[in-house]
Structure 1
Amino acid sequence: MISGYRNSLILMVAGLLLISCKKEESKPFANPTQIDAYFPVSDFLEEKIKKIEGVTVTKIIQFNEESEEVRFKPDQEAWRKELDFFFQADINKAAFATAYSTTEEEGLLVHRLKPGEKGTIKEIRVQKKGELVESIHIITVNDNLFYHSEVSGKIGLDAQEDLATYRLSGNQKVWFMAPTLLKVNAEIE
């Protein structure tokens, strides 16, 4: 009796498994940490660097009192590294879903960290002319007992919304050390 009950239970479970196994379309998993609440900095830049491979960049780097000019032709991977500050400033993450206030005026979209919220990205300003983005300006501040840094970065786009310039300026102060200043000004030809 018990053996018959066990066999019918096994057949029933096997039947349920076969019924529940149906072929579905293979879809990539959605990233549960990504949201779509703010300007998509990373996606926007990813599209822009696909269009400018092979262009020449002239970059002036100033570190404290020293200055250097370099010219190079970045590929897509080099662009990702070159614009890493901007890629890292994408706030479309679930952890920031309510951390930023958004204001939109004629031609200007601003995401600003709300008072009391934690985050190093303090502000993202997107300047537009009509539907086209003219510039993206990002301000970050990292502050603790031993370390303080502020970085401001700005990407400029031309009339066709292609990357034209990018600039970074920042300073950092480590306790008991002199402050360090860094500036990068780049023109895309």
Structure 2
Amino acid sequence: MRLRNSFILAFLILVSCDVASSRNAEMEVLPYFDLKGFIDQKLAELPDSVQMAKSSRINWEEALTSKRMSREDIRKELEVFYEADINSPSFAQSYDTEVVKRYLIHKLKPEEKGRLQEMIITYTDDEVSGIQIKMKKDNTFYTSTTIAEIYFSGVSQKIDHYNVETTQKILLMDPNNIRYSGSIKQ
């Protein structure tokens, strides 16, 4: 009896591993540009800390600074790009993809729901030179639109600079506009 239970347990483990690996195989070939993986790779190429020229603006009041930032600090500033990653099974058929000249474009289909509206990847000499995203969240009481861009050096292919701008509008209130940018001093 004990031997039979061991065989059943081993069989169940093998079957569950097989089901999990088949789910992973479905997403092995990503349907869209691997934004999260690409940003991770570009962050890993940076030194532990870099000198940054930073700008922030909240409702038209701007501040300029220069400071050292770690990779983790920069990752936090680029969080919107991680939020824009659409390589999950739930979005597998949600976006139209087209290539126009040197642009790879993922655009949300009209009948689909998703926060990312559009992602444009710009290529120069077969290397990614820029990524632009447009995100929108909308309901009866609240609207939020974010436009973010990140650019890469044509020489080193490393992160060069980025801009993130968000406009939020709550029903019966004035809109808030927040913009921040960073440029790595080379």
Whether these two folds match at TM > 0.5 is yes
Once the two structures are superposed, what CA deviation does each residue of 1:67-88 show, in whole Å capped at 9, x if it has no partner?
1112222222212211101111
Mapped partners of 2:174, 2:126: distance in 1:
44
Q: Which residue in the other structure is 1:38 paired with?
A: 32
Helix, strand or coil at the partner of 2:157: coil
- How many residue pairs get aligned? The number is 176
Q: Give aligned-pair identity as a percent.
A: 27
Once the two structures are superposed, what CA deviation does each residue of 1:144-164 show, in whole Å capped at 9, x if it has no partner?
000011110000111131100
The counterpart of 2:164, out of the listed 155, 158, 168, is: 168
Q: Which residue in the other structure is 1:107 paired with?
A: 102
Helix, strand or coil at the partner of 1:48: helix
Q: Which residue in the other structure is 1:13 paired with?
A: 4
The counterpart of 2:84, out of the listed 89, 100, 107, is: 89
Q: How does 1:10-159 map to 2 (within 5 A)?
A: 10=1, 13=4, 16=7, 32=24, 36-53=30-47, 54-159=49-154
Mapped partners of 1:114, 1:50: distance in 2:
33
Kept after mapping to 2: 8 A contact 1:135/1:157: yes
Mapped partners of 1:37, 1:56: distance in 2:
36
Mapped partners of 1:150, 1:164: distance in 2:
24
Unpaired runs of 5+ residues, structure 1, are 1-9, 23-28
Once the two structures are superposed, what CA deviation does each residue of 1:95-139 show, in whole Å capped at 9, x if it has no partner?
100000000122110000001100010000000012200100000
Paired amino acid for 2:83: Q
Unpaired runs of 5+ residues, structure 2, are 14-19
